[in-house]
Amino acid sequence: MTTEELGKQIYKKTQLLNTVIENTTVAFNLMRDCAKEIMDYMHKEYPKEFVFTNKSEREFEIRFGSDILVFMMHTNVFEFSRNHEVMRTPYIMQDKERSFSGMISIYNFLTDSFDYNRDYDLGYLIGRVFINKENHYFIEGKREVGMLYSSFNTSIINRESVESIIKSSMEYANNFDLLTPPFDEVKAITVGEILSTVASKSHFTAKRLGFEFQQDKE
């Protein structure tokens, strides 16, 4: 490969990645605006239960009831492995560049975990939104949040789809209930743990113990 050919190849790849990041940034900002609108609307009726907080350029959170959803945009562009189901769809096979995607992650935490500074509490990834150069998207996620890979060729990220993603994530979190940890894991505690602030952090809390990104089995 000549220097000129290498330069053109790198430039083409850079332009592709820039386009994907730009599309993902626009989608994330739209998601931020839509989340704020939803929270503001509900805040009027239930002022203590619904709160929107903008954390940074690439992160915001919404609080509702006992749950927090944290939305985070990654700064890099990703490509799926050759074994990923989406790579076998006609949409991607026709143009491999369509597989390069920006990523927005959605995490679910308990509100009390933040309010009481329980650093060891767990959060759960409930959805990942992937957006490509054509503003097409699909979601890897839990139950109400996820969607089929086969829809990648027809699903366009817009205000309607963003609102659906946010509401579906809220619905999932609201229905994803707190379970008690296994009895044998918490049946013993030392006097020192009781008397110190460590007690509140050594026994972490989460809706499910054991983080795995897979469909719930119950």
Q: At what angle do helices 159-175 and 3-45 cross, to 10 degrees?
A: 60
Nearest to 137 by CA among 129, 126, 145, 127: 129
| Whole-angstrom distance, CA of residue 152 vs CA of residue 156 | 8
Question: For residues 104 and 128, is the Cβ–Cβ distance under 8 A?
Answer: yes
Quote the pLDDT of residue 147: 60
- For 131-171, the pLDDT digits (tens) are 999 999 999 887 656 566 678 999 999 999 999 999 999 99
- Residue 102 pLDDT: 97
Nearest residue to 102 via CA among 10, 31, 7: 31
Question: For residue 146, what pLDDT is reported?
Answer: 58
Instruction: Please list the ranges in the chain whose pLDDT falls under 70.
Output: 143-149, 177-218
C-alpha count within 13 angstroms, C-beta hemisphere, residue 60:
17
Q: Which amino acid is at 100?
A: F
Any idea where the domains of the chain sit in the sequence? 3-178
Q: What is the pLDDT of residue 114?
A: 85
Q: Helix, strand, or coil here: 198? A: coil
Residue 178: predicted pLDDT: 59
